[in-house]
Amino acid sequence: MKYQINYQCQECEGFGHIEHQRSETRYTANPCPECDGEQFKTVYEYYDSPKDCRADYPNATIQEWSV
């Protein structure tokens, strides 16, 4: 079965942007390059059961996907 898996981006920790310290008091924020500022990533993978999928993605939103 194919599953749609939505999980929080680990690069930006779900904030959608990454801050860079430019000086002692100055920061800049850029959209996260991993999730394109969306805060979450979506992948489509095949698993035998939802339990197997949950084992790989314990904190994700998982949904059966049929096209």
Rounded to whole angstroms, the Cα distance separating 59 from 5 reads 10
Count how many domains the chain has: 1
Q: Mean pLDDT, to the nearest integer, of 22-48?
A: 91
Q: Mean pLDDT, to the nearest integer, of 59-63?
A: 94
Domain range spanning residue 11?
Answer: 2-64
**Is pLDDT of 67 > 80?**
no
- The count of other CB atoms within 10 Å of the CB of residue 12 is 21
- Fill in the DSSP letter of residue 60: S
CB 18 within 8 A of CB 28: no
pTM of the predicted structure, to 2 decimals: 0.74
Identify the band that residue 22 occupies on the pLDDT scale cut at 50, 70 and 90: confident
CA distances from 20 to 14, 17, 26, 63 (A): 16, 10, 9, 35
pLDDT of residue 24: 85
pLDDT of residue 21: 85
